[in-house]
Amino acid sequence: MLFLEGKQMGQMIEKDYPQWIYNANEEAKIISHSELDLYLADGWVENPAQLEGTIDKIKTSLGFKEDEELASGEINAIGQMYKEITDIENFKLQMDKKTNAQIIKFIKWINEGIAKESDVKPVKIPKNATKAVLKDIVNSL
């Protein structure tokens, strides 16, 4: 599994931007960040791991028995994994407003996580890549 640590992608995000939100009874959707508090008050969450039953579904998919417990560290790792996936998907929504330098910084952030947690080769960034090429790289992640 890929776990990215340290740097927060929020440092590269504007105050009002599109983002994904999740609800146990409705399909996930994209909203403007300025609307977030209204949705949070109505039972929506920013991380799908916060939805009731998510951990149980993951346990079932991993073959755990109903009465088996996950260690708190495993639960935290699952929550962190969901947060990182959400950060990546939210960044993808915002790429049109990002500079090439910001997109390259994001790809390097992903590469750091790949290097720490897997034997997957890091993504190569071509010299003088256009914004379209950089967006294609990010969308392939």
Statement: the pTM of the whole predicted model exceeds 0.75: no
Separation of CA 95 from chain center: 14
How would you write the chain as a 3-class SS string?
Answer: CCCCCCCCHHHHCCCCCEEEEEECCEEEEEEEHHHHHHHHHCCCECCHHHCCCHHHHHHHHCCCCCCCCCCHHHHHHHHHHHHHHHHHHHHHHHHHHCCHHHHHHHHHHHHHHHHHHCCCCCCCCCCCCCHHHHHHHHHHC
Quote the pLDDT of residue 6: 42
> Helix, strand or coil for residue 84?
helix
Q: What is the mean pLDDT of residues 120-138?
A: 90
Q: Are 109 and 4 in contact (CB under 8 A)?
A: yes
Lowest mean pLDDT among 2-11, 55-64, 123-132: 2-11
Quote the pLDDT of residue 16: 78
What tens digit of pLDDT does each residue of 25-71 get?
A: 999 999 998 999 999 999 999 988 888 888 788 788 878 887 788 77
Percent over 90 (pLDDT), the chain: 39
Q: Which residues pair with 19 in a beta bridge?
A: 31
